[in-house]
Amino acid sequence: MEIELIPRHFPNVGVIEGQLPEDTVDSLWKLIEESRKQPEDMKPELAGNISSSIRLDGNSPLIGDFVKNVIPLYIEQTIKSYGPPWRTTMKEGQAWNLESLWVNFQKKHEFNPPHDHSGVYSFVIWMQIPTSYAEQKKLPICAESNADGSISNFGFHYTN
């Protein structure tokens, strides 16, 4: 799995952005469809105001490859921008593992409020985005407020 990463610079935390290869995206869609056959509801564990969230198989080889390939790239990018990242020291023989993996199916007006994730690293993969930021910021609820930087966007809130 090859991913071109684009570092996003924040004052105190590293974030990378990349485009997944088409075959990886196709495999993710298959994983999602398999999970829909016998869905395990994740809503009780999540903060979102979302009608449907289901667990995905975190033991999938696809996900294992993703974790094994992306974390080292993230660490490399973070070291270049910020120095060694915190909480990344591993004992000999240890490997990264994925605690949980899920998919959210959001409908109009549904959202994830500010929340945090446990663990050392976290990631988001957008599979289908039915809106455009440019269109959304013209809506009356946004155009008449100072929220034009927030509507329909993914945001980070953090302290240093």
Same domain, 97 and 153: no
CA 26/CA 31 separation, integer angstroms? 9
Same domain, 75 and 145: no
Average pLDDT over residues 68-73: 80
Same domain, 17 and 74: yes
Average pLDDT over residues 9-26: 76
Same domain, 98 and 46: yes
CA 16/CA 95 separation, integer angstroms? 21
- 111 CB-side CA count, 13 A: 10
Same domain, 122 and 150: no
Among 56, 48, 68, which residue's Cα sits nearest to residue 121?
68
Domain range holding 140?
Answer: 132-160
Number of domains in the chain: 2
Same domain, 86 and 159: no
Lowest mean pLDDT across 5-9, 90-94, 119-123, 146-150: 5-9
pLDDT for the residue numbered 5: 59
pLDDT for the residue numbered 2: 57
Summarised one tens digit per residue, pLDDT across range 72-130 is 877 777 777 767 665 556 677 777 778 888 999 988 888 888 888 877 788 888 899 88
